[in-house]
Amino acid sequence: MQSDRLERMKELAGLLREASKAYYAQDREIMSNREYDGLYEELQALEQETGVVLADSPTVKVGYEAVDELPKEHHESAMLSLDKTKDREELQDWLQGHEGVLSWKLDGLTIVLTYSQGKLLKAVTRGNGEIGEVVTNNARTFCNIPLAIPFKGQLVLRGEAVITYSDFQRINSEIPEEENRYKNPRNLCSGSVRQLNNEITAGRCVRFYAFSLESAQGEEAGGSRMDQFAFLAGQGFQVVEHELVTQETILDAVGRFEGKIEGFDIPSDGLVLTYNDIAYGQSLGRTAKFPRHSIAFKWADELRETTLKEIEWSASRTGLINPVAIFEPVELEGTTVSRASVHNISILRGLKLGIGDRITVYKANMIIPQIAENLTSSDTLEIPAVCPVCGGPTQIRQVNEVQSLYCTNENCAAKRIKAFTLFVNRDAMNIEGLSEATLEKLVDRGFIQEYADLFHLDRYREEILEMEGFGEKSYQKLQDGIEAARKTTLPRVIYGLGIANIGVANAKMLCRHFDHDLEALVHADVETLSAIEGVGEVIATAFVAYMQDPENLEKLHRFTGELEIALPKVEEGSQTLSGMSFVITGSLAHFANRSDLKELIEQKGGKVTGSVTGRTTCLINNDVTSASSKNKKARELEIPILSEEDFLAQYEIQVP
pLDDT tens-digit series, residues 562-620: 999 988 765 566 778 888 889 888 777 787 777 678 878 877 878 887 778 888 999 99
Helix/strand/coil (H/E/C) assignment for every residue in 351-379: HCCCCCCEEEEEEECCCEEEEEEECCCCC
Between the alpha carbon of residue 469 and those of residues 8, 346, 463, 531, the distances in Å are 46, 41, 12, 49
Residue 63 has pLDDT above 60, yes or no: no
Q: What burial class does residue 394 get, using C-beta atoms within 10 Å of its C-beta: 0-12 exposed, 13-18 middle, 19+ buried?
A: buried
pLDDT at position 431: 87
Q: What is the pLDDT of residues 352-401, one digit of tens each?
A: 999 999 999 987 655 678 898 999 999 999 999 999 888 889 999 887 67
Where is 403: in which H helix or E strand?
Answer: strand 402-407
Q: Taking 70 as the threshold, does the pLDDT of residue 243 lie above it? A: yes
Which residue in 503, 619, 493, 605 sits closest to 197, CA to CA?
503
- pLDDT mean across residues, the chain: 85
What distance in Å separates the CA atoms of residue 208 and residue 113, rounded to the nearest whole number? 10
Would you state the pLDDT for residue 33?
A: 60
pLDDT for residue 426 is more than 60: yes
| Burial class, 472, CB count within 10 angstroms (exposed 0-12 / middle 13-18 / buried 19+) | exposed
Query: Greater confidence, 174 or 75?
Result: 75
* Other CB atoms within 10 A of residue 20 CB: 13
Q: CA-CA distance, 563 to 492, in Å (whole number)?
A: 11
- Cα separation, 431 vs 480, whole angstroms: 9
Whether 187 shows a pLDDT value over 70: the answer reads yes
Q: Give the per-residue pLDDT at 22.
A: 60
pLDDT of 62 over the 60 cut: no
Distance CA 650, CA 522 (A): 35
**286 to 225, 239, 296: CA distances (angstroms):** 18, 25, 15
pLDDT given for residue 25 in this prediction: 44
Catalytic residues: 105
How many angstroms separate the CA atoms of 118 and 380, rounded?
64
**Residue 171 or residue 311, greater confidence:** 311
- State whether the Cα torsion 590-595-596-598 is positive or negative: positive
Q: How far apart are CA 223 and CA 538, in angstroms?
A: 53
- The answer to whether the beta carbons of residues 208 and 139 sit under 8 Å apart is yes
pLDDT above 60 (res 67): no
Angle at 33 between CA 28 and CA 36, to 5 degrees: 95
The CA distance from 484 to 470, in Å, is 20
CB neighbours (10 Å) of residue 254?
20
Q: Give the rounded percent of residues in the chain with a pLDDT score beyond 90.
A: 32
Q: Is the pLDDT of residue 64 over 60?
A: no
Please state the pTM of the whole predicted model. Answer: 0.51
- Cα–Cα distance for residue pair 428/422, rounded to 1 Å: 7
Determine the residue type at 247.
Q
Report the number of secondary-structure helices (H) and strands (E) in the chain.
24, 26
pLDDT tens-digit profile of 327-339?
Answer: 999 987 667 889 9
Percent of the chain at pLDDT > 70 equals 91
17-29 confidence digits (pLDDT tens): 777 666 444 445 5
Q: Rounded to an integer, what distance in angstroms lies between the CA atom of residue 432 and that of residue 254?
A: 47
Go through 87-97 and write b for each residue having 16 or more CB atoms within 10 A of its CB, e for each that does not: eeeebbebbee
- Three-state DSSP at 284 gives coil
Segment 528-556 mean pLDDT: 85
Tell me, what's the pLDDT at 27? Answer: 41
Strands in 178-319 per DSSP E: 207-216, 242-245, 268-275, 294-297, 304-315
Who's near 174: CB < 8 A, 6+ residues apart?
Answer: 425, 426, 427
